[in-house]
Amino acid sequence: MASKNVPPPSTLDDPVYRTGVIELLGILAYGEISACERLAEDAKMAPDLKTKVEIAAMATAEFGHFEKLRDRLVQLDEDPYETMQEFAPIFERFHRQTAPSDWLEGLVKAYVGDGLAADFYREIAAYLDPETRSLVLDTLSGTGHSDFVVDAVRGAIEKDPRVGGRLALWGRRLMGEALSQAQTVVAERDALSTVLVGGVDHPGMDLAGIGRMFTRLTEAHAARMEKLGLAA
Amino acid sequence: MASKNVPPPSTLDDPVYRTGVIELLGILAYGEISACERLAEDAKMAPDLKTKVEIAAMATAEFGHFEKLRDRLVQLDEDPYETMQEFAPIFERFHRQTAPSDWLEGLVKAYVGDGLAADFYREIAAYLDPETRSLVLDTLSGTGHSDFVVDAVRGAIEKDPRVGGRLALWGRRLMGEALSQAQTVVAERDALSTVLVGGVDHPGMDLAGIGRMFTRLTEAHAARMEKLGLAA
């Protein structure tokens, strides 16, 4: 229950919060559209038509997420493409560092990325104004294709156990790159960080809280890897 | 009004009709998924993020069409991927012959292909059993992105009129290739052709009717080219 001493939730009247939320929506939107693009690219490596279609379905789901985030930016009177464009270098760097060499690596990347994004959305939701929060919670409802990925990865490991070692390494590399890019963003974007850490007149996490968030994200990543049959 | 002499509409109890409808759904489904795939590929050539997103939105719409056709195949107790796979060579040949050299050619291809598919769906709907018919009519509702294509093509021609000549040639080549692949299909697939031309116990077009259908498809293509500001 809210005590009288707790500051009111952030509102878009606060210019720092507003800038931060717009940056946040921009980065999430770019993340979704670039995930969609990469999955479409990965689909070409699929070993058969059914797998290709499953990967295309995941790409389509990411596009649906993107649309919601973009529409919120439009609602806030921002040019969504201009806002997103600023974050292009981060994602292009990330994708360059983590180009899958086959469709299984592509699937693991989508699964890990999707899961991480959903966890992150859930973590930050509490610090957002109600409208942005419900949008973000809505977006994290997931692509709903995790069963397919789990079956495909476990099936491939069963056929050739060496695949498990390779994909486990791959998962660690993905997480490492994602955290490294996240740190760059936090370091470069004051307003965006303020959304998370809070400002003078709105609540946020303290540094210890951010540390705990990263621990939770890492633990959830490990659980996801385990579900795929991979050592985290 | 139906006279007593007109045979009843086709039903799936007729094995030739059933085979033909399954082939038809298979070819349409493969067409949609391959259109989706090619658009995703073309999106990479987009000059800016907004255009990329518009092309990705078209790809997503094609994927939605594909899903409906696939689900109907599943409903009919067929393996959709096996059914579709047979038609892969036709579309791969078509796409090899019509690989766009830039994003504008990709847009024109999507626009022309989409329009042609919608017209064809409308033409054949009358010869289908009610359930397949309503699915096909539902699918042809279009990707709803034609305004974007019209604006983009007209804008590009305004900037550089030579683009108009190149794209007009391109449109003719697309239509020529599409008709040539369609003829191959009709020649190779008896059951599928029977859906159109009719069989002993169900109505269909006669040869003159098929000729008129091709005339209508060609005229509609010319109208679409004109809408883009291109000579057909």
Per-residue pLDDT at A162: 94
Per-residue pLDDT at A6: 54
Between CA A6 and CA A123 the distance in angstroms is 19
B45 touches chain A (CB under 8 A): no
Pick the residue of B32, B49, B91, B95 with the most A CBs within 10 A to test the interface with A by mutation. B49
Task: Give the gap in angstroms from C-alpha B116 to the nearest C-alpha of chain A.
Answer: 23
Per-residue pLDDT at A142: 60
Per-residue pLDDT at B86: 92
For residue B192, give Cα distances in angstroms to B20, B128, B139, B201: 4, 11, 19, 15
Q: Looking at the partner chain, which of B40, B48, B53 has a beta carbon nearest the beta carbon of A40?
A: B40
CB contact under 8 A, A33 and B43: no
Q: pLDDT at residue B26 above 70?
A: yes
Is the model more confident about B16 or about B228?
B228
Pick the residue of B45, B48, B53 with the most A CBs within 10 A to test the interface with A by mutation. B53
Q: pLDDT at residue B13 above 80?
A: yes
In this prediction the ipTM stands at: 0.82
Three-state SS at B168: helix
Q: Looking at the partner chain, which of B53, B60, B84 has a beta carbon nearest the beta carbon of A49?
A: B84
Q: Which residues of chain A are within 8 Å of residue B84 when distances are taken between CB atoms?
A: 49
A45 touches chain B (CB under 8 A): no
Q: pLDDT at residue B184 above 70?
A: yes
Q: pLDDT at residue B4 above 90?
A: no
Write the CATH number of the domain with boundaries B15-227.
1.20.1260.10
Per-residue pLDDT at B98: 94
Range of lowest pLDDT (B148-157, B179-188, B189-198): B189-198
Range of lowest pLDDT (A3-12, A33-42, B25-34, B81-90): A3-12
Residues of chain A with pLDDT under 70: 1-10, 141-144, 199-203
Please list the alpha-helical segments (H only) found in B86-189.
88-97, 103-125, 130-139, 146-159, 162-188
Three-state SS at B115: helix
Per-residue pLDDT at B1: 46
Range of lowest pLDDT (A221-230, B117-126, B140-149): B140-149
